[in-house]
Amino acid sequence: MVVVTGQGQASAAADDAMSSSEGDDEFQEPATPTASRAALPLLPQQFPEVVPLNVGGALFTTRLSTLRRYEDTMLAAMFSGRHYIPTDAQGRYFIDRDGTYFGDILNFLRSGDLPPRERVRSVYKEAQYYSIGPLLDNLEDIQPLKGEKVRQAFLGLMPYYKEHLERIVEIAKLRAMQRKARFAKLKVCVFKEEMPITPYECPHFNSLRFERSDGDAKLFEHHCEVDVSFGPWEAVADVYDLLHCIVSDLRARGIAVEHQCIGVCDKHLVNHYYCKRPIYEFKITWW
């Protein structure tokens, strides 16, 4: 008679478990099957010589060589075969971008044609998105972008220009909301000279720009009683040029703005000197 002890049972069970485990391992999937599949090299995407495009719903057809005209562009990279581009139901390669000005992009890639002036800014924005350096360079050399470069060079001399624009908008919005009004008014000082004062009873001074010691300069330190103050700056461009920039930039943001000169500060500083900085009233209409 054969007696099977508990130890033998345990041993047998362990052997069975090992054999079962070893048997199962022969048919077991890898622990990370997705990782193994992802490691497989993807075949490059093949494109036809004539490429149908769907750019945000706008349909185009062009040659593959046109899209690859300049190597360092997004379009050349997209259609290099290294990236996958989805297709729409008709098999057109889909680019998820507004296609309004894509025709101007293609015309430049085809023959170097530039858009008309009224579309320059918009096409420039698209050229930035697609990283088309030669088109960007050409657009920057024509109006209105060439003039904008000159204007920005002037505004670069203006301390806190963008911050002051934001302050105008915020003050006007706050006042309109507090008063439940359709519009809001605020006072803006725009001055070019460092110390725009006039000696009323000293006519022998024929210029506002004369030297003062540090002690004398402190006597003329003054902040006009206005909401926002622009200046001073060193450039040929004058107060009216800066006012044009302020109004243009506000209107470019969709803000309806009017302005008029309502006088000068005229605050007494010291002796016979008075502040003569011009004060403008800005009226911003919200609806």
pLDDT tens for each residue of 215-274: 555 555 677 899 999 988 888 889 999 999 999 999 999 999 999 999 988 876 766 677
Are the C-beta atoms of 229 and 189 separated by less than 8 Å? yes
Supply the angle between the helices 239-252 and 145-155 in degrees, to the nearest 10: 120
Are the C-beta atoms of 172 and 261 separated by less than 8 Å? no
Please give the backbone phi and psi of residue 280, each rounded to the nearest 5 degrees, phi first.
Answer: -120, 140
Q: How far is CA 151 from CA 15, 60, 64, 99, 237, in A?
A: 86, 37, 39, 30, 10
Please give the backbone phi and psi of residue 68, each rounded to the nearest 5 degrees, phi first.
Answer: -100, 15
Q: Which DSSP symbol is given to 62? A: E
Q: How far is CA 145 from CA 112, 113, 137, in A?
A: 18, 17, 10
User: Each residue's pLDDT tens digit in the chain (287 positions)?
Assistant: 444 444 444 444 445 444 444 444 444 444 444 444 444 445 578 899 999 999 999 999 999 999 999 999 999 999 999 889 999 999 999 999 999 999 999 999 999 999 999 999 999 999 999 999 999 999 999 999 999 999 999 999 888 999 999 999 999 999 999 999 999 999 999 988 755 455 544 444 444 444 545 555 555 567 789 999 998 888 888 999 999 999 999 999 999 999 999 998 887 676 667 788 899 999 999 99
- Per-position DSSP letters for 247-265, written without gaps between them: HHHHHHTT-EEEEEEEEE-
Q: Which helix (H) or strand (E) holds 188?
A: strand 183-190
Q: Give pLDDT, residue 265.
A: 87
Q: Give pLDDT, residue 218.
A: 57
d(Cα 137, Cα 106) in Å, to the nearest integer? 16
Q: Where are the domains of the chain?
A: 50-142, 156-198+223-285
Strand partners, 281: 187, 260
Q: Is the pTM of this model over 0.85?
A: no
CATH superfamily of 50-142: Potassium Channel Kv1.1; Chain A (3.30.710.10)
Nearby residues of 56 by Cβ (< 8 Å), 6 or more positions away: 95, 96, 97, 98, 99
Q: Give pLDDT, residue 103.
A: 97
Q: Give pLDDT, residue 39.
A: 47
Q: Give pLDDT, residue 29.
A: 46
The amino acid that residue 225 corresponds to is: E
d(Cα 130, Cα 281) in Å, to the nearest integer? 43
Q: Give pLDDT, residue 117.
A: 94
d(Cα 280, Cα 258) in Å, to the nearest integer? 10
What's the half-sphere exposure (Cβ side, CA atoms, 13 Å) at 250? Answer: 26
Q: Give pLDDT, residue 198.
A: 53
